[in-house]
Amino acid sequence: MRYLFLLLFVITSNAAIAAFSIKQVAQGIYVHQGPIELPDVRNHDAIANIGFIVGKKCVAVIDSGGNPAQGRLLKSTIQKITATPICYVINTHVHPDHIFGNSAFQDIANIKFIGHEKLSRAMAARGAFYIARSMEQIAVNLTEKDIIPPSILVKDFLKLDLGGRVLELKAYPTAHTDNDLTVFDKKTNTLWMSDLLFVGHLPVLDGSLKGWLNVIAELEKQSFDVVIPGHGPIDRDWPKSVQAEKHYLQKLATNVRAKIKQGKYLEDVLQDDDSIFKAQWQLFNEFHKKNLSSAFAELEWED
């Protein structure tokens, strides 16, 4: 039985590697688009959009993947595409599908890991849980060594000069999580939003519903040529692409507020029929009730 499990693990790992592809979405910006799936023993949590940006002097990795093997695959892909050294690994937030490839880059001389000022704390708080469930959930034996916190913290803004290309990193108040970070490339007018934008995949609330809507309101006033979500296809029609997410989050807030005003309890809220959204979003059944619960916990105490 153990041999069969190992054989299946090798087969699925090889399949995941074979499916790894990188697309240049703007000059010098490369993205691997992850599948819209739950993390499992077949995909090993390699489900997020990850990639890198190439300057004349440095390469910046934007999220390293859901497991060390995916991180190694990303690193080898970068080294095949460019001889420019990898200087930075930027983590956009704490979720495991975005951070567990970090260890693959740790052996690079002078590498710098960058994240939101609250990312280290979030990694410390959640890391043990992620590790404890890793083998059962995604068939990867993660350890404490795979938790690589940022060595550079972003409180508000940080500019990185990659050589002929300046990246602007912005840290946000609590929204999708309490440690969200975006990366803006001035050269191509590209915004790497990561999980502040979900396309096709139901948005997942792990922070503040009101905060997330505030971030969307701020960003939709701006113009971008390319926007890279954390999950789903890359978009070139901003701000149209964020409207589905915005509408879902607004409706979530409206419905939950109405139930609270009616004196309903969480158990009542979770029974709501919001199937109007089901056809619009993948993984609706898997995450909508969680979103209802998170929204209720936040809005129950608002003024």
**Domain 2-239, classified CATH 3.40.50.280, yes or no:** no
Mean pLDDT across the chain:
92
The pLDDT-based confidence of 273 (bands split at 50, 70, 90) is: low
Q: Determine the average pLDDT of the residues in 284-294.
A: 95
* β-pair type (50-54, 112-116): unpaired
Q: How far apart are the first and last CA of the chain?
A: 57
Query: pLDDT: is 185 or 271 the higher one?
Result: 185
The pLDDT-based confidence of 268 (bands split at 50, 70, 90) is: confident
Predicted model pTM: 0.92
The pLDDT-based confidence of 295 (bands split at 50, 70, 90) is: very high
Is the pLDDT reported for residue 301 higher than 90? Answer: no
pLDDT tens, position by position, 99-110: 999 999 999 999
pLDDT tens, position by position, 182-201: 999 999 999 999 999 999 99
Is the pLDDT reported for residue 1 higher than 60? Answer: no
Q: Determine the average pLDDT of the residues in 66-71.
A: 98
Which pLDDT value is given to residue 302? 85
